[in-house]
Amino acid sequence: MVKGKTTIAPDVLHTVARLTTLNVEGVSRMCLSPSGVKRYFTRGFRDGVRILLENDIVYADLYVVLKHNTNVREVSHIIQQQVARALTETVGMQVGRVNIHIEDIDYPERIKA
């Protein structure tokens, strides 16, 4: 058996979480920055994803914009399940928490007016 070490760049975790989230039905897009004052205190934030690693456990915060006519609670739960599964299966890391932040809802232009 060959001995060695495998390291996973934080960008890999961001990419897995982001792409998994975008593939969930009802997600319109990632929010590029948290709303309000939160954006000034959020470190490690990029492309709608904030990943924190503590003791080899992944904690994720995902900032999303949903499509209109979407069940917010259901889609949020699906995102949590899918992202946790993807991180565990893809990189083999334990997931401690996946927080979903709904930043907005995208409505068609004719409904906005």
Q: How far apart are CA 75 and CA 99, in angstroms?
A: 12
Q: Which segments in the chain show pLDDT lower than 50?
A: 37, 39-40, 42
Q: What is 10-112's CATH number, 3.40.190.10, 3.30.70.1350, 3.40.50.2300, 3.60.40.10?
A: 3.30.70.1350
Contact 4, 73 (CB under 8 A): no
Domain definitions of the chain by residue range = 10-112
Beta-sheet pairing, 57-67 with 94-106? parallel
**pTM metric for this prediction:** 0.83
What is the pLDDT, as a whole number, of residue 42?
A: 47
What is the pLDDT, as a whole number, of residue 25?
A: 97
What is the pLDDT, as a whole number, of residue 8?
A: 86
Q: How far apart are CA 14 and CA 50, in angstroms?
A: 7
Neighbours of 79 (CB within 10 A): 25
What is the pLDDT, as a whole number, of residue 40?
A: 47
